[in-house]
């Protein structure tokens, strides 16, 4: 029996036991009278106190039929017991959020984005999606349509703001202001192999926690259920939050430095503690959730990089494959840079707490925002570098994209900080 993980509250339930929501249409078979909207207190309580009272009214929810024919069903239409109109809208048992079309028909990969305030999470997602549909999508022959009306709306707004109006996304609101919907995308990749045909479809779920919710272990606990369900975590590290980098980057002619926020060491420590408390660890105490540590704003680090640094160019993705040697070159350079910037404090923290991690460097914009308009993208528009690398590594681990390897496996594991067997 197919198990569905809710992308909103991450409750797990058999697909055949998911409730339905009435469409409230006037084409029913029982007198032609549509159902009236009614308060959905389960959904309203989940969405938070900022939800207006008028939005609490939604189509009635009714349970899935308990019949033998429904046991293997994931998206079959069912008639509303009141009006008789058939509906295919499935609803989470725990939070009453509606599932997008096709969500229950395929597996999902939940990617948690974590980072302090102003680390660029919202901008990163917008640019990442654009690259996966464009330059990277062409190399891997993938498609990435948005799923559900809310993600489609936000996806459209993010693209228009960043690429047409050259405006950076607004800051993610904290949990105290209400729930932040995840972004849902249907990733389609061609099947590989001599006899393989068709495509493999997977739902990508991006969940973005506000920086304010990562300032302490108590605040992060609100997001523990999402983090514990994640197939992978991308930790965005703003190098301009590190004292030595700030000292080297300070310039009267350059853009202003961001305000100091929660340190990446503190976030990594609290994150590991929360995940460990939910059993995501191995016998030696390391968390098993794969961790992609992405140093952002590498455009601001050019003066600190060598002329041949792999951080100055995008990966080639020749033949639609992830080049693991290229990833390792980036990993080693970032590990060396991080160790130089803070005497290895962050690297030791991460490598003691996470069983499998890799370091990445990226720039979502390719250049800093204008000094006189810090909420704007550069006038040339985003010119991203390596934004796709962390996600492709996580997808490659799950066999969703091919990985080209040439180094001995044991050597790779040691170089990436993976726990010894």
User: Which of these three, 89, 104, 119, is where a domain ends?
Assistant: 104
For residues 32 and 69, state if they share a domain. yes
Query: In sequence order, what E strands does 42-181 have?
Result: 57-58, 61-62, 78-79, 86-87, 108-115
- Is the pLDDT at 280 greater than 70? The verdict is yes
For residues 48 and 75, state if they share a domain. yes
pLDDT at 419: 42
What is the tens place of the pLDDT at every residue in 211-224? 555 555 655 666 77
Cβ atoms of 74 and 16 within 8 Å: the answer is yes
What is the tens place of the pLDDT at every residue in 103-112? 888 788 889 8
Cβ atoms of 272 and 233 within 8 Å: the answer is no
Residue 421 lies inside a defined structural domain of this protein = no
pLDDT at 75: 53
Give me 259's structure tokens: 């305000």
pLDDT at 165: 93
For residues 54 and 118, state if they share a domain. no
Better-predicted residue by pLDDT, 410 or 85: 85
pLDDT at 243: 74
What is the tens place of the pLDDT at every residue in 286-295? 999 999 999 9
Residue 309 lies inside a defined structural domain of this protein = yes
Q: Give the mean pLDDT of 81-98.
A: 92
For residues 316 and 351, state if they share a domain. yes
For residues 97 and 131, state if they share a domain. no
Residue 237 lies inside a defined structural domain of this protein = yes
pLDDT at 368: 85
Query: Which residues form the domain of 147?
Result: 106-415
CATH number of the domain at 317, please: 3.40.50.300
What is the tens place of the pLDDT at every residue in 99-158? 987 888 878 888 988 887 767 788 999 999 999 999 999 999 999 999 988 899 999 999
Q: What are phi and psi of 372, to 5 degrees?
A: -90, -5
In the chain, the percentage of residues whose pLDDT exceeds 70 is 83
Residue 225 lies inside a defined structural domain of this protein = yes
How many structural domains compose the chain?
2
For residues 81 and 32, state if they share a domain. yes
Better-predicted residue by pLDDT, 256 or 24: 24
| CA separation for the pair 149, 154 (Å, rounded) | 9
């Amino acid at each position: 029996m197919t198990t569905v993980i809710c992308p909103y509250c991450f409750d797990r339930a058999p697909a055949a036991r998911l409730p339905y929501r009435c469409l409230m249409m006037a084409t029913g078979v029982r007198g032609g009278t549509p159902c009236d909207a009614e308060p959905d207190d389960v959904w309203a309580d989940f969405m938070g106190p900022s939800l207006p009272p008028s939005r609490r009214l939604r189509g009635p929810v009714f349970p899935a039929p308990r019949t033998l024919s429904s046991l293997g069903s994931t998206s079959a239409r069912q008639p509303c017991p009141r009006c008789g109109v058939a509906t295919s809208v499935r609803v989470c048992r725990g939070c009453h959020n509606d599932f997008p079309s096709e969500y229950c028909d395929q597996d999902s990969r939940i990617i948690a984005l974590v980072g302090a305030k102003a680390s660029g999470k919202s901008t990163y997602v917008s640019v990442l999606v654009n690259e996966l549909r464009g330059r990277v999508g062409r190399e891997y022959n993938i498609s990435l349509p948005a799923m559900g009306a809310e993600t489609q709306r936000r996806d459209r707004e993010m693209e228009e703001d960043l690429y047409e109006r050259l405006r950076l996304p607004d800051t993610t609101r904290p949990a105290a202001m209400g729930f932040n919907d995840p972004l849902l995308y249907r990733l389609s990749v061609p099947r590989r192999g001599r006899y393989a045909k068709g495509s493999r479809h997977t739902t990508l779920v991006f969940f973005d926690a506000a920086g304010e919710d990562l300032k302490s272990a108590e605040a992060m606990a609100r997001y523990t259920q999402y983090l514990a369900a994640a197939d992978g975590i991308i930790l965005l590290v703003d190098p301009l939050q590190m004292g030595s980098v700030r000292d080297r980057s300070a310039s009267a002619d350059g853009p202003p430095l961001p305000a100091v926020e929660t340190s990446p060491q503190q976030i990594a420590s609290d994150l590991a503690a929360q995940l460990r408390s939910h059993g995501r660890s191995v016998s030696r105490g390391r968390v098993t959730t794969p961790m992609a540590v992405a140093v952002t704003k590498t455009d601001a680090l050019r003066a600190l990089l060598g002329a041949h640094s792999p951080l100055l160019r995008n990966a080639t993705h020749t033949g639609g494959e992830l080049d693991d040697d290229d990833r390792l070159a980036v990993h080693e350079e970032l590990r060396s840079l991080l160790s130089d910037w803070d005497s290895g404090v962050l690297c030791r923290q991460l490598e003691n707490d996470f069983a499998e991690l890799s370091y990445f460097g990226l720039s979502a914009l390719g250049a800093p925002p204008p000094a006189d308009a810090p909420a704007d993208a550069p006038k040339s528009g985003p010119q991203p570098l390596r934004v796709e690398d962390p996600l492709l590594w996580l997808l490659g681990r799950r066999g969703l994209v091919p990985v080209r390897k040439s180094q001995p496996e044991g050597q790779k594991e040691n170089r990436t900080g993976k726990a010894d067997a």
